[in-house]
Amino acid sequence: MDEKNEDSKYLYIMQKNILINDVLIFDGEHDNVRTGNILIEKNKIKVISEQPISVEKDQETEVVDGLGNFMMPGLIDAHWHAYMSSNTMMDLLTADDAYTQLKAGREAGNTLLRGFTTIRDAGGPVFGLKRAIDEGIIRGPRIYPSGPIISQTGGHGDFRAVYDVPRPFDCCGWTHTEEIGAAIIADGVDAVITAARNNLRMGASQIKLMTGGGVASLYDRLEDSQFFEEEIRAAVKVAADAGTYVMVHVYAPRAIARAVNAGVRSIEHGHLIDEPTMALIAERDVWLSMQPFTYDDNHFPAKEQQEKHALVVQGTDNTYKLAKKYNVHLAWGTDLLFNPVGTVNQNQGIVRLQQWFTNYEILKMITHDNAELLSLSGPRNPYPGDLGVIKEGALADVVIVKGNVLEDISLLGEPEENIVFIMKDGVVYKNLL
């Protein structure tokens, strides 16, 4: 073992080979498990075998005894806000940028130790955070960044104070949230094109647009349609030219249909959807990235915000039932915002899925299926290779859990106790075996 931090439970191992013996393997795709052994070479799964795996004597190989525990691909959160989940709204609006980024860095390490080896960041200033993680400066999951969320004036990403003058008439530049890269206001086709291209310039793997009203925003209603179809279509063209796609924040049928017709590939939320619109999503082969919200997930200061949050929660059951009826591509995420003390509940969002899905369906969704959605970024994929699966040649992102998760999904709800081994990119970050 090369390095150990102050807590001996959490290891940071960098070496050529790691051999993990005697694990019950769920590969992310199939509804069964098999007992076997896995050889990790550098950052990829080299060999999977039910028979003992021999290694060359001249190779440095760390041997880990899996003790018959459950191995699965690393967890993937398809809708996480690495920056905005770790800071309050007051932090976002008033705190020093260095302070908020340090909080995001600390939370990134916590996210990894909850078993999440990959997240798709749904908007915020995370380019520097991603780089620091990728370079090994700090610990954290793989990040598929969107960059600043792109919003119209008065849209879900407009965090300006009421006394701020809209930009066409503003001589004084960007507001604070725009300066730090949390959001950008873009009205009109040209402005949307510029914002989308700039996000790609900074390293976005996909583009995030706010095309409908939201809960946390003060200037809109959930049912509002935001951005004209030609504005959305402009962002889609920019993304397509770069080989990637557009994901959109939206809840209501009219706004969802507009986004789908404009060519977006991923609907984020959709909790107020109706049946004809779900049928349209299925017909166009569009993904639905859902979050099984509860009333306690996010707390907002204004009565109007809490009322909107309640409507979203109430729509969850219908949305999942319609998605299953039409066999829509489903992804899972959490979307925890501005409540740093609540990030510890990230894994509980997995457990809630059992109201609508079997344990196998859940495990496949939070590994293989989420990875399929992330792969839509094509040449903009920052981590080319197979994620969300355990197979020879795949990237070595795996976790080991005490107990059979196919039989008891609630085991993932207590990651500190039940997830005993975490590996990302061939590096071991936790080993309690």
Give every CB contact of residue 72 below 8 A, 6+ residues apart in sequence: 25, 26, 28, 363, 367, 390, 398, 399, 401, 405
Structure tokens at 178: 């725009």
pLDDT of residue 304: 81
Look at residue 398 and tell me whether its pLDDT is greater than 60: yes
How far apart CA 134 and CA 205 sit, in angstroms, is 15
* pLDDT-based confidence at residue 343 (cuts at 50, 70, 90): very high
pLDDT digits (tens, 9 = 90+) for 37-47: 999 999 999 99
pLDDT of residue 360: 98
Q: How many CB atoms lie within 10 A of CB 41?
A: 17
CA angle, residues 312, 374, 190, in degrees to nearest 5: 75
Q: Say which residue, 111 or 166, is predicted with more confidence.
A: 111
Q: What is the mean pLDDT of the chain?
A: 92
Supply the DSSP string of 124-142, one letter for each residue: SS-HHHHHHHHTTSS---E
Q: CB of 85 within 8 A of CB of 336? A: yes
Helix %, strand %, coil % of the chain (to 5)? 35, 20, 40
CA angle, residues 215, 219, 224, in degrees to nearest 5: 70
Q: Say which residue, 163 or 241, is predicted with more confidence.
A: 241
Look at residue 61 and tell me whether its pLDDT is greater than 60: yes
Q: Say which residue, 57 or 210, is predicted with more confidence.
A: 210
pLDDT of residue 248: 98
* pLDDT-based confidence at residue 337 (cuts at 50, 70, 90): confident
Strands 11-12 and 3-4, by their bridges, are antiparallel
Look at residue 340 and tell me whether its pLDDT is greater than 70: yes
How far apart CA 276 and CA 159 sit, in angstroms, is 33
CA angle, residues 295, 305, 323, in degrees to nearest 5: 55
pLDDT of residue 216: 79
* pLDDT-based confidence at residue 218 (cuts at 50, 70, 90): confident
pLDDT of residue 169: 53
How far apart CA 334 and CA 382 sit, in angstroms, is 22
* pLDDT-based confidence at residue 176 (cuts at 50, 70, 90): confident
* pLDDT-based confidence at residue 14 (cuts at 50, 70, 90): low
Alpha helices, DSSP H, located in 64-136: 89-94, 97-113, 127-134
Question: Structural domains in the chain?
Answer: 3-73+389-431 (2.30.40.10), 75-356 (3.20.20.140)
Look at residue 97 and tell me whether its pLDDT is greater than 70: yes
Residue 395: helix, strand or coil by DSSP? strand
Mean pLDDT across 324-352: 95
With a pLDDT cut of 90, the percent of the chain lying above it is 80
pLDDT of residue 15: 53
pLDDT of residue 4: 43
pLDDT of residue 89: 85
Q: Say which residue, 164 or 327, is predicted with more confidence.
A: 327
pLDDT of residue 171: 53
pLDDT digits (tens, 9 = 90+) for 361-372: 999 999 999 999
Does the pTM surpass 0.75? The reply is yes
**What is the radius of gyration, based on Cα positions, of the chain?**
21
Q: Virtual CA dihedral for 11, 12, 16, 18, nearest 10 degrees?
A: 30
Which of 211-220, 283-292, 329-338 shows the lowest mean pLDDT across its residues? 211-220
Residue 100: helix, strand or coil by DSSP? helix
How far apart CA 412 and CA 396 sit, in angstroms, is 20
Amino acid in the structure at residue 40: I
pLDDT digits (tens, 9 = 90+) for 384-397: 999 999 999 999 99
Q: Quick one: DSSP state of residue 367? A: I
Mean pLDDT across 276-287: 98
Mean pLDDT across 75-101: 93
